[in-house]
Amino acid sequence: MKPIITTDNNCYITEGAIPFAASDPLRVLPACIIGSGIAGALSEIFQCTLMAPHGGIFVFPVVGNAIGYLAALMIGTVVSAVLLGVLKKKVL
């Protein structure tokens, strides 16, 4: 993994994901959408707040219910990763 992709993701700069989605949109997009939807729903259930509309790790100090926010983020990420692993599995 290139260091720039990791740095961009931590800052919520998502343009690095475009080539992955464009190369196989029928498998990548559903996995990303479902994982993001679950993360968003969980952040609502956990009553997380964020006064800044965007900013990645730079706005973390203003997150309300930081533990719930991180839990929602991690669960959504795991769901997306598992779905990608299942959907992108090579068929013999």
Number of domains in the chain: 1
**Phi-psi bin for 54: left (phi > 0), alpha (psi -120 to 50), beta?**
beta
Domain extent at residue 65: 21-87
Q: Please state the rounded mean pLDDT for residues 74-85.
A: 93
Residue 12 in any domain: the answer is: no
pLDDT at 10: 59
Q: Is 5 within the bounds of a domain?
A: no
Q: What is the pLDDT of residues 20-38, one digit of tens each?
A: 888 889 999 999 999 999 9
Who contacts 71 (Cβ-Cβ below 8 Å, separation ≥6)?
A: 42, 46
Asked if the structure places residue 77 within a domain, the reply is: yes
Report field, pTM of the whole predicted structure over 0.95: no
Residues 6+ apart with CB under 8 A from 55: 11, 12
Compute the Cα dihedral for 26, 27, 33, 34 and give only its sign.
positive
Q: 35-77, pLDDT tens digit by residue?
A: 999 999 999 999 999 888 777 777 888 999 999 998 998 999 9
Residue 1 resides in a domain: no
- Judge whether 9 lies within some domain: no
